[in-house]
Structure 1
Amino acid sequence: MTKDKRNYQTCSSPWVKCIYGRLAFLCLAAAAIRYWLIFFSKYQSLIADHIEVSTPLNAWKRVKEGLYLFSIGINPYYGDMLHETPTSLFFYQFITESLGLSTGHIFIIFDIITATFLFLVTRQYMFMVYIEREENKSSYSKNIEEYLYTNENFRRAPLYVAATFLFNPYTILNCVGFTTTVFFNFFLSVFLYLLLSRKFFLCSLFLAFCTSMSFYSIILVVPMCLHAYKQFNGNFRAIFSMISFLVNFLVIMFIGHLLDKTDSFLENVYGFIITVPDLKPNIGLFWYFFTEMFDHFRELFIYSFQINATILYLIPLALKFHNDVFLLITALLYISTIFKSYPCVGDVGLVLSLLPCYKHLFNYSQQQFLILVIYIISFCLGPIVWHLWIYSNSANANFYFGVTLAFAVAQIFLVTDILFVHIKREFCLYFGKKSRIGGKEAILVLE
Structure 2
Amino acid sequence: MSTTQKFVFFALAATIRLLLIYSEYQKIIADRVEVSTALNSWKKVTEGVYLREAGIDPYTGDLFHESPIGLVVFSYMQKYLSLCMLCGIFVFTDLATAWILGATAYRYTSELIATEQKDIQKRKKESNDEELSTLPSSMSIPASSVTSSALLVPSAYLFNPYVVFNCVGLTTTVFTNFLLSAALYSMINKSRLCSCFTIAVLTLQGLYPITLMVPATIYLARNEEGKNKNFPYGNINKTIAMFIGILIALYYLSYKVSGSWSFLHSTIGFILTVPDLRPNIGLYWYFFTEMFEHFRWLFVASFQINVGLLYVAPLALRFRRDPMLLAFSYLAIAAIFKSYPCLGEVGFYMALLPMWKHLFPHMQQGFIVSCFLLSCTVFAPTVWHLWIYSRSANANFYFGVTLAFAIAQIFLVTDVLFASVKREFSLRHGLSREIHGNTGKLLLE
| TM-score normalised per structure 2 | 0.92
> Deviation digits for residues 38-74 of structure 1, max 9, x if unmatched?
11x1010111111000000000011011111111211
Equivalent runs, 1:24-35 vs 2, <5 Å: 24-35=7-18
| Native 8 Å contact 2:52 2:58 kept in 1 | yes
The percentage of aligned residue pairs carrying the same residue is 43
Change (3 A) 1:181 1:434: closer
Equivalent runs, 1:256-267 vs 2, <5 Å: 256-267=254-265
Equivalent runs, 1:38-437 vs 2, <5 Å: 38-39=21-22, 41-97=23-79, 102-138=85-121, 139=123, 141-233=133-225, 234-433=232-431
Equivalent residue pairs, number? 423
| Native 8 Å contact 1:433 1:445 kept in 2 | no
Change (3 A) 1:344 1:265: same
Q: Which amino acid aligns with 2:309?
A: I
In the alignment, structure 2 segments of 5+ residues that lack a partner are 125-132, 226-231
Change (3 A) 1:43 1:87: same
Q: Which amino acid aligns with 1:189?
A: S
Distance in structure 2 (CA, Å) of the matches to 1:237 and 1:94: 39
Superposed displacement of residue 335, structure 1: 0.6
Aligned partner of residue 64 in structure 2, secondary structure: coil
| Native 8 Å contact 2:183 2:198 kept in 1 | yes
Change (3 A) 1:237 1:25: farther
Aligned partner of residue 207 in structure 1, secondary structure: helix
Distance in structure 1 (CA, Å) of the matches to 2:345 and 2:299: 24
Q: Which amino acid aligns with 1:320?
A: R
Superposed displacement of residue 183, structure 1: 0.4
Superposed displacement of residue 368, structure 1: 0.4
Superposed displacement of residue 223, structure 1: 1.2
Distance in structure 2 (CA, Å) of the matches to 1:26 and 1:94: 31
Q: CA RMSD in A?
A: 1.9
Change (3 A) 1:444 1:273: farther
Superposed displacement of residue 90, structure 1: 1.4
> Deviation digits for residues 257-285 of structure 1, max 9, x if unmatched?
00111211100111110000000000000
In structure 2, the residue matched to 1:9 is none
Q: Which amino acid aligns with 1:231?
A: N
| Native 8 Å contact 1:285 1:405 kept in 2 | yes
> Deviation digits for residues 83-123 of structure 1, max 9, x if unmatched?
11101111223344456653211110111111111111111
Superposed displacement of residue 185, structure 1: 0.4
| Native 8 Å contact 2:65 2:266 kept in 1 | yes
Aligned partner of residue 235 in structure 2, secondary structure: helix
Distance in structure 1 (CA, Å) of the matches to 2:79 and 2:140: 50
Superposed displacement of residue 143, structure 1: 4.7
> Deviation digits for residues 327-351 of structure 1, max 9, x if unmatched?
0000111111110000000000100
Moved over 3 A (4+): 94-101, 234-237, 443-447
Change (3 A) 1:280 1:225: same
Distance in structure 2 (CA, Å) of the matches to 1:396 and 1:361: 40
Superposed displacement of residue 321, structure 1: 0.3
Distance in structure 2 (CA, Å) of the matches to 1:446 and 1:199: 44
